[in-house]
Amino acid sequence: MKNNGEISLDPNNWDEIRKLGYQSIDLMIEYLSNIEQNKVWKPIPPKTKEYFSSSIPLKPQSTNEIFDDFINNILPYPSGNIHPRFWGFVKGTGTPTGAIAELLATTMNSNTGGGEHIANYVELQIIEWAKEMLNFDKKASGLITSGCSMANLTGLAVARNVMSNNDIRKEGLRSMSQDFVIYGSDQIHSSIKKSIETLGIGSNNITLIPTNDKFEMDVENLEKTIQDDISNGKIPMAVVANAGTVNTGAIDPLNKIAEITKKYKIWYHIDGAFGALAKIVPEYDDIMFGLELADSIAFDMHKWMYMPYEIGLILVKDPIAHKLTFTLRPDYLSEETRGFSSFKNWATEYGIELSRGFRSLKAWFLIKEHGFKKYQLLIHQNIKQARYLGTLIEASDQLEILAPIALNIVCFRFIFSNKDDAINDSLNKEVLLRIQEEGIALFSSTILNNKYALRVAITNHRTKMSDIDLTISKILEIGNTLKK
Ligand SMILES: *Cc1c(COP(=O)(O)O)cnc(C)c1O
């Protein structure tokens, strides 16, 4: 078709894009269906890194060329969490349908900041499903976020505003005559600390409560500390409980913490990034007792629901407090009774961001595709795999467990020395690096009671028991080589 010299970013030849699309889908299927044959991770060659310091292209390149470039320089070096033997940090696996849902979401290119269009109803649907999944208060409000860090920040911002005795939004923290204190166990995630810093409260005002030998918060110490702080004129702002600590998966006594926060009228926030999802497994409902009592709960769908990045969620029991923390409708965002702006409760009134992507479409697609029950089974499967790994470690006199296995995380080490932990620390680090560099598996590490621990966290729907067998045999092999 002729144009008048006007330009756009749409293709001149739509059939070329069709070809690129089909090629991409073929690539995805080829790649993901054979992912097990790849190394889990491999180092990026210096030449490839250097390639990514070129200057900005001024002239167009063909999509074929760019596609080849992607295949040669990008695709070979993934972070590895698509592989069945990736258990590092806490990373989800993603799914092929999730990738297609992302394509469809970006085809619509909906901005879910607000407005009367269908994406915002999908967002609300996922928030409703999240409440149903976790048995959380039906009246609660929620927001889909990029991840649990943003969800924690959002929940704690509401807590700060509710717990202050003046209008923090207008007057700022300096208007307060007393200091806030925040409580969490010594196992809280770095995102809690960052949230408290960002909210202007300062991380010096987080009191870390000690944990027991299962890494669960000592609630007697919590209560005593709160009492002391109150008598010293401080304002307890929030208790942050872990439903699954990042180090070991430990679950704080959620119900007892609920009693304490209720008694002293303190905001109760739960960081349930991955662990909250254990709630949906009937066998684990017991240990998650109390989860539904939180004032706010943050968790991720990109971790233990295996959805492609990014998608996290915050639920807030008091929808008015939630909205009052963030609502701001300037002239250019005014609400109308008809048309595009007639939508109620814009997402931007429940969080910091205005422009937001259509993350909920993949959640909608995937939960429908697999059915909720499949997630119960998969999460349970990962817990069973962690327990199985635990039995292999216990069966070997060369390996030792370093923390109880609460859910899907196993912390352990190869025993190089019975006396010298410095030797154990440095050689276990070497085991970890060799396993990573050889592309056998990928797990990360942590420090527990001053001991370096190999840390396997299974939030992976592709993992099989045989992957665990293989990895343990490699750990033993490398450990014994290093021991010589
Ligand atoms: C991963 C994690 C977070 C942060 O979530 P992101 O989605 O990475 O932002 C917070 N808390 C815990 C316990 C986590 O495991």
Structure-token pair, residue 465: 């028991």
Q: Are 176 and 164 in contact (CB under 8 A)?
A: yes
Q: Quick check: is 7 in a domain? A: no
- Give the CATH number of the domain where residue 67 resides: 1.20.1340
pLDDT tens readout for residues 199-236: 999 999 999 999 999 999 999 999 999 999 999 999 99
Mutation choice for ligand 1 from 144, 148, 194, CB with most ligand atoms inside 8 A: 148
pLDDT for 177 equals 85
Say if residue 127's pLDDT is above 90: yes
Please indicate whether residue 271, judged by its CB atom, sits closer than 6 Å to ligand 1.
yes
What residues contact 259, with CB distance under 8 A and at least 6 apart?
none
Please indicate whether residue 252, judged by its CB atom, sits closer than 6 Å to ligand 1.
no
Say if residue 183's pLDDT is above 90: yes
Please indicate whether residue 148, judged by its CB atom, sits closer than 6 Å to ligand 1.
yes
| Alpha carbon of residue 14 to chain centroid | 37
- Give the CATH number of the domain where residue 197 resides: 3.40.640.10
pLDDT for 72 equals 97
Cα(307) to ligand 1 centroid in Å equals 14
The answer to whether residues 296 and 438 belong to one domain is no
What residues contact 294, with CB distance under 8 A and at least 6 apart?
241, 254, 258, 268, 269, 270, 317
Domain end call among 343, 370, 397: 370
Three-state secondary-structure class, residue 287: coil
Say if residue 290's pLDDT is above 90: yes
451-457 and 409-414 beta bridge pairing: antiparallel
Say if residue 2's pLDDT is above 60: no
The answer to whether residues 365 and 442 belong to one domain is no
Q: Quick check: is 404 in a domain? A: yes
Cα(440) to ligand 1 centroid in Å equals 25
Residue ID of nearest Cα to ligand 1 atom 2: 273
The answer to whether residues 383 and 352 belong to one domain is no
Q: Quick check: is 136 in a domain? A: yes
The answer to whether residues 73 and 165 belong to one domain is no
Q: What is the mean pLDDT of the chain?
A: 97
pLDDT for 484 equals 85
Average pLDDT over residues 250-277: 98
Task: Tell me the C-alpha distance between 269 and 255, whole Å.
Answer: 12
Q: Are 357 and 113 in contact (CB under 8 A)?
A: no
Please indicate whether residue 189, judged by its CB atom, sits closer than 6 Å to ligand 1.
yes
Please indicate whether residue 440, judged by its CB atom, sits closer than 6 Å to ligand 1.
no
- Out of 45-59, 145-159, 326-340, which region has the weakest mean confidence (pLDDT)? 326-340
Domain end call among 370, 392, 416: 370
Average pLDDT over residues 142-164: 98
Domain end call among 41, 62, 78: 78
The answer to whether residues 356 and 388 belong to one domain is no
Of 10, 36, 35, which is closest to residue 466 (Cα–Cα)? 36
Average pLDDT over residues 164-174: 92
Give the range of the structural domain holding residue 265, as residue numbers without chain letter: 102-370
Cα(190) to ligand 1 centroid in Å equals 8
The answer to whether residues 254 and 349 belong to one domain is yes
The answer to whether residues 366 and 387 belong to one domain is no
Task: Tell me the C-alpha distance between 406 and 248, whole Å.
Answer: 7
The answer to whether residues 210 and 315 belong to one domain is yes
Say if residue 347's pLDDT is above 80: yes
Q: Quick check: is 1 in a domain? A: no
Cα(410) to ligand 1 centroid in Å equals 17
**Exposure of 148 by Cβ count < 10 A (0-12 exposed, 13-18 middle, 19+ buried)?**
buried
pLDDT tens readout for residues 377-411: 999 999 999 999 999 999 999 999 999 999 999 99
Structure-token pair, residue 421: 């932990």
Q: What stretches of 303-359 show up as alpha helix (H) in DSSP? A: 319-326
The pLDDT > 90 percentage for the chain reads 95
Structure-token pair, residue 36: 């097990």
Average pLDDT over residues 18-26: 97
Q: Are 441 and 86 in contact (CB under 8 A)?
A: yes
Q: Quick check: is 94 in a domain? A: no
Cα atoms in the Cβ-side hemisphere of radius 13 Å centred on 433: 7
Strand order in the sheet with 399-401: 86-87, 442-448, 451-457, 409-414, 399-401
Residue whose entry in the numeric block shows the structure tokens 């909205």: 323
Q: Quick check: is 4 in a domain? A: no
Q: Quick check: is 2 in a domain? A: no
Q: Quick check: is 90 in a domain? A: no
The answer to whether residues 360 and 419 belong to one domain is no
Residue 73 neighbours by CB distance under 10 Å: 16
Residue 100 neighbours by CB distance under 10 Å: 15
Output DSSP code: residue 223.
H
Q: Alpha carbon of 254 to those of 249, 294, 306, 396: distances in Å?
A: 14, 9, 25, 34
pLDDT for 3 equals 62
The answer to whether residues 261 and 324 belong to one domain is yes
The answer to whether residues 47 and 150 belong to one domain is no
Task: Tell me the C-alpha distance between 190 and 225, whole Å.
Answer: 22
Q: Which amino acid is at 423?
A: I
The answer to whether residues 70 and 187 belong to one domain is no
Exposure b/e, 225-263, CB count within 10 A at least 16 = b: bbeebeeeebbbbbbbbbbbbbbbbbbbbbbbbbebbee
- Give the CATH number of the domain where residue 437 resides: 3.90.1150.170
pLDDT for 264 equals 98
Mutation choice for ligand 1 from 300, 301, 409, CB with most ligand atoms inside 8 A: 300
| Alpha carbon of residue 119 to chain centroid | 22
- How many domains does the chain contain in total? 3
442-448 and 409-414 beta bridge pairing: unpaired
Average pLDDT over residues 354-365: 98
